[in-house]
Amino acid sequence: GCYYVAMDFSGHGLSSHRPAGCAYHFLDYVTDVCRVAAALQWRRFTLMGHSMGNFSFSYCSMSPQFCFLYPEMVDKLILLESLGFLLAPEDTEAWLKSKRRVIDRLLSLEAKQQTPKARSPEAALQRLLEANSHLTAEGGAILLQRGATETPAG
């Protein structure tokens, strides 16, 4: 049999919203579908798009774009009230390569999430200064105050 998963994209319905000031880009929604498919352990599935899943704020349709970028994951594409495909055929290959590379890199980084390294404040400052020769010790200390969190481990 079949079952349906109706997902809310980030910032819609009951899904988490992005922080204030962060833009919502159509590639983020394609990435959301990748995450859901991975969480459900789907290798291939039928994708149905309607409303924003069918067309978005500009020339980008989420469902067709996902299908374009990950054709190996989609066995069928169903579009309800579709605008169709709006990418010029001569632009397809370059678009696919660049957009898929962005999404795959992001997902790869997420998969490699590591626990942050704990360092003493002094060791953290030393590491920051070694990696950024243009920083002064005072500037590095200010950056650490704003960007580092002290934990019991360091």
At 71-116, the pLDDT tens digits run 999 999 888 877 666 667 787 788 888 888 988 888 888 888 777 7
What tokens does 94 get?
């370059």
What tokens does 132 get?
């950024």
Question: Domain limits of the chain?
Answer: 26-111, 117-154
| pLDDT for 41 beyond 50 | yes
CA distance 50 to 4: 14
| pLDDT for 43 beyond 80 | yes
In three-state secondary structure terms, 138 is helix
pTM: 0.57
Which of 105, 112, 103, 110 lies closest to 31, judged by CA?
A: 103
CA distance 99 to 2: 31
What is the structure's pLDDT at 17?
83
CB neighbourhood size of 1 (10 A) = 2
Residue positions annotated with a catalytic role? 51
What is the structure's pLDDT at 56?
42
At 5-40, the pLDDT tens digits run 988 888 877 888 887 777 777 788 888 899 999 999
The confidence band for 52, taking pLDDT boundaries of 50, 70 and 90, is low
Buried b (16+ CB within 10 A) or exposed e, 51-61: eebbbbeeebb
